[in-house]
Amino acid sequence: HTAGYGGGCGGSSTGWYLDEIEIVRNVPVFTGDFESGWAGWGADRGVWDVGSPTTGPAAAFEGLNVAGTALDGNYGANTDSRLISPTVRLDTVVAGEELHLRFREWFSYDHCDAGYVQISTYDTGTGTWADWVTLSPYVEHTSPWSLKDVDLTAYAGQVARVAFYHTAGYGGGCGGSSTGWYLDEIEIVRNVPVFTGDFESGWAGWGADRGVWDVGSPTTGPAAAFEGLNVAGTALDGNYGANTDSRLISPTVRLDGVPPNGEVHVRFWEWTSFGHCDGGSVQVSAYDPGTGAWVDWVTVGSASASVPSWSLRQVDLTAYAGQQVRLAFYHTAAYGGGCGGSSHGWFIDEVRVQHRVGTTYCSPAVDNSTGAPAEIRAIGSDVVDQNQLDVFATGMPNSQFGYFLASETQGLIPHPGGSPGTLCVVGTIARFNAPIENSGADGSFSIAVDLTQIPTSPAHAVTGGETWHFQAWYRDGGSSNFTDAVSVLFR
């Protein structure tokens, strides 16, 4: 115990109290559900406790117990302390495998305070523990229960301890308090990442870096998944919090199998409703095999402005062909300067990484009022049984109506009905006009083609060996125009 004097010191308080002191010999066992109490965990400077919370989340994520900075009130101002795990020998990994720390977290921090995930490794040469290294973005502000994923692959095979480092500032406008950081169901997982994006099996390798996101059946926002039961969303049963930002991060995926001059895209269904200062972006991080590190996130697309209906989106990833990448849906909500409102947020479903298929013809199309031609792409699979073909039209004037056409017969009819464009499908033409599409703020629209119900009269089911030709028609001011066209030979 030390008590200073002079230079502003010299006050006093109740001091230091000790009880139940023991020396224990054991083989450390890493557990993280806290149902047996501390179970080898400890705190280096107090603050943390283990038990059933009556404040903050008011309940564990699973079972009865959590580790938290305060189980029945707020953490103190000007505090910092690590919750430290038992020693664990991290598994070795072989080619293709990864090692991840995954846990559930709930947090509510005052504006100067935050929490960090850290690691310390044991140096067998010196017999000492290395300094703590921060592994992930800090958490701040507020989040309901969410799943965080931290990559430990760089530490595979080493003896390590993991820490959750709580910090609370003081002075300079700081010194407030809140309920803090709560942790449950901590585990270390070794596996070969598998990219899935329907969320029907829960998180399935996805994670959030700063809370906010959850996976399940929504009762707010869209109130239902686009397909199946589950989505990933910024709030499944209310609004996201103001002044929050967090990435929903995918498992690692290798963008292989892209032929020369081919393309690879991520497609997904989204439902959006943002506060006026808030939004979302699609990002990519690539693995650098030379350094063994993941590069900084790069923005490659954006969420739609608030469009409270399910819409199909795609982002071109061809620049990353052949690389290992992780994808992120980055939610941001601002605060101050007139910002700070909230809404239901961003909901994601049916995420797929797909290649461009088909052969373009009738290209380029006639320029529209933007001064450039609109284009069509077919993305997905040409295998009939997979029924996974999407068509996208881009480069149209904003906020114009239109729809897709399809036929088994190519054509070349200039200026149909007085249009400046060229109709490139003839014969029996299917019209995907239920509903009519709108090019919106980015001049694009898209559909997922149901190969079992091509809307001819009567409806037609595509079979292997058939070739179908697709084109989009759209309004353009007082006239109309067409994209180029694409032919897909189905197998």
Q: Do the Cβ atoms of 168 and 77 come closer than 8 Å?
A: yes
Range of lowest pLDDT (165-169, 448-452, 458-462): 165-169
Q: What is the pLDDT of residue 136?
A: 82
Q: Is the pLDDT of residue 365 over 90?
A: yes
Q: Is the pLDDT of residue 310 over 90?
A: yes
Percent of the chain topping pLDDT 90:
84
* DSSP H or E run through 36: none
Q: Do the Cβ atoms of 323 and 286 come closer than 8 Å?
A: yes
Residue 183's pLDDT band (boundaries 50, 70, 90)? very high
Cα(132)–Cα(130) distance, integer angstroms = 6
- pLDDT (tens digit, 9 = 90+) per residue, 228-261? 999 999 989 999 988 889 999 999 999 988 888 8
Q: Is the pLDDT of residue 169 over 90?
A: no
Cα distance from N-terminal residue to C-terminal residue, the chain: 78
Q: Is the pLDDT of residue 213 over 90?
A: yes
Q: Is the pLDDT of residue 13 over 80?
A: yes
Quick one: average pLDDT of 199-219? 96
Q: Is the pLDDT of residue 175 over 90?
A: no
Beta bridge partners of 405: 431, 471
Q: Do the Cβ atoms of 389 and 335 come closer than 8 Å?
A: no
Q: What is the pLDDT of residue 138?
A: 86
**Closest alpha carbon to 446 in 414, 420, 479, 472:** 472
Q: Is the pLDDT of residue 439 over 80?
A: yes
**Mean pLDDT value across the chain:** 94
Q: Do the Cβ atoms of 152 and 117 come closer than 8 Å?
A: no
Q: Is the pLDDT of residue 336 over 80?
A: no
Beta bridge partners of 379: 356, 390
Q: What is the pLDDT of residue 242?
A: 84
Residue 306's pLDDT band (boundaries 50, 70, 90)? confident
Q: What is the pLDDT of residue 101?
A: 97
Q: What is the pLDDT of residue 328?
A: 98
Beta strands in 124-244 (DSSP E): 128-129, 133-134, 142-151, 159-167, 180-191, 207-208, 214-216, 231-233
Task: List all residues 6 or more positions away from 175 whose beta carbon is below 8 Å from its beta carbon.
Answer: 77, 78, 112, 169
Q: Is the pLDDT of residue 159 over 80?
A: yes
The residue that leads in pLDDT, 441 or 197, is 197
Range of lowest pLDDT (165-179, 269-283, 307-321): 165-179
